[in-house]
Structure 1
Amino acid sequence: MVVRKGSHSVFSVHLHFVFVTKYRRKAITAPMLERLHEVLANVCIKTKCRLIEFSGESDHVHLLVDFHPDNNLSALVGSLKSASSRIIQKEFTEHLATFYKKPVLWSSSYYVASTSGAPIEKVRQYIKSQEVPTN
Structure 2
Amino acid sequence: MPQSFCQLHAHIVFSTKNREPYLGESIRPKVHAYMTGILSELGCSGILIGGFVDHVHCLCQLSKKEAPVKIVQMLKQDSSKYIKTLDDRLHTFGWQNGYGLFSVSPTHLDSVRKYISEQVEHHRVKSFQEEYREFLERYNVSFDERYAWD
TM-score (norm 1): 0.72
Larger-gyration structure (1/2): 1
Count of residue pairs the alignment pairs up: 107
2:80 aligned with 1:113: no
Identity among equivalent pairs (%): 26
Taking the aligned partners of 1:51 and 1:85, their CA distance within structure 2 comes to 22
Structure 2: give runs of 5+ residues left out of the alignment.
Answer: 109-150
Taking the aligned partners of 1:104 and 1:28, their CA distance within structure 2 comes to 10
Please say if residues 22 and 93 of structure 2, whose CA atoms lie closer than 8 Å, have aligned partners that are also in contact. Answer: no
Pick from 12, 32, 49 the counterpart of residue 54 of structure 1: 49
CA RMSD, 1 decimal: 1.8
TM-score (norm 2): 0.65
Name the residue aligned to 2:79: 84
2:4 aligned with 1:12: no
Structure 1: give runs of 5+ residues left out of the alignment.
Answer: 1-6, 98-102, 120-135
Matched letter for residue 54 of structure 2 = D
Structure whose residues are more often helix by fraction: 2
Structure 1 stretches of at least 4 aligned residues deviating more than 3 Å after TM superposition: none
